Amino acid sequence: MKIKILHLYHDLMNLYGEYANISVLCRHLEDAGVEAELDRVSIGDDYSLSKYDFIYCGAGTERNLMVALSDFIRYKDDLKYYADSGKAALFTGNSFEMLGNNVFDREGKMLEGMALADFSAYQGGESYKAFIEANPEERSLADSDKRLTGDAVFTADFIDKPIVGFINKCGFIKGSFTPFLNVKYGLGNNNSEKTDGVRINNIMGTHLTGPLLVKNPPILSYVISLITGGELTEQKEYDSELLGYEVTVRELMKRFSAE
């Protein structure tokens, strides 16, 4: 079996260590005898989305997200087609904000999104002020305009183990859509909902940043089963990856349950 992977905006959307998601995925696919072919693309590059079996995009700064979206918008129809085909993709950190109707930046400017799901993203700053002014009753969605960072423990309907990671964002998203994960501890899509991210068919978006596929062997194995259509039953395991995950779960549960 051969799998083609597309890493979007690898040099622009990399808050910290996002590339490791691709490293761990390729290693585990190859361990299972699957040939993984990786293309890394960025601003101005032309490619055909439909050629790929998996798409990944990592978190970036607020400004970089706007630059990425301005470029990615020409693939709007292609991405819709990709989503309808049922193939898998993962957008981590703020990159999944591109999948909604629009993104409002910190200066208050609006960019049109990929419109796969019905929501808007507000990066804070002027867009936060404008939103609160227009919707005073929704003030609770974000009670202040500051950096929102923190460890997180999430759960998923399709994985029986906790999901751990870190949130590093500002602003909030608001709309009507199917979330990806449930918040057990930590920050969600906004203050009033205990959900994180968005799911459109097999396109997954989560606010978790960094190398979350390294930190969460259960999600890695779920993603691999989506990519390979469940054909891989046996996946090689690495002690340090599994133990690292267990230690983080233990440390976070100890911390959060004491709060």
Kindly give the pairing relationship between strand 159-170 and strand 195-196: unpaired
Please check whether residue 53 is in contact with residue 87, taking contact to mean a CB–CB distance below 8 angstroms.
yes
Choice from 43, 45, 85, 229 touching another protein (CB under 8 A):
43
Residue placing its CB nearer to another protein in the complex, 137 or 239? 239
CB of 74 to another protein, least distance (A): 17
Q: How far apart are CA 83 and CA 200, in angstroms?
A: 7
Please check whether residue 114 is in contact with residue 76, taking contact to mean a CB–CB distance below 8 angstroms.
yes
Is 31 among the residues that bind another protein (CB under 8 A)? no
Is 45 among the residues that bind another protein (CB under 8 A)? no
CB of 77 to another protein, least distance (A): 25
Q: What is the DSSP letter of 60?
A: -
Choice from 32, 41, 67, 159 touching another protein (CB under 8 A):
67
Buried b (16+ CB within 10 A) or exposed e, 57-66: bbbbebebbb
Is 28 among the residues that bind another protein (CB under 8 A)? no
Is 240 among the residues that bind another protein (CB under 8 A)? yes
Query: Taking the chain, what is the end-to-end CA distance rounded to the nearest angstrom?
Result: 47
Stretch that binds another protein, among 45-53, 73-81, 107-115, 236-244 (CB under 8 A): 236-244
Is 185 among the residues that bind another protein (CB under 8 A)? no
Buried b (16+ CB within 10 A) or exposed e, 144-168: ebeebeebbbbebeeeeebbbbbbb
Q: 155 - beta bridge partners?
A: 182
Dump strand ranges (E) for 157-228: 159-170, 172-176, 181-185, 195-196, 198-200, 203-206
Is 7 among the residues that bind another protein (CB under 8 A)? no
Residue placing its CB nearer to another protein in the complex, 94 or 116? 94
Is 15 among the residues that bind another protein (CB under 8 A)? yes
Choice from 1, 4, 17, 101 touching another protein (CB under 8 A):
17
Is 57 among the residues that bind another protein (CB under 8 A)? no
Q: How far apart are CA 239 and CA 259, in angstroms?
A: 30
Residue placing its CB nearer to another protein in the complex, 82 or 96? 96
Binding site for another protein (CB under 8 A): 11-12, 14-17, 19-20, 23-24, 27, 43, 61-64, 67, 147, 149-151, 164-166, 168, 170, 209-211, 214-215, 238-241, 243-244, 247-248, 251-252, 255
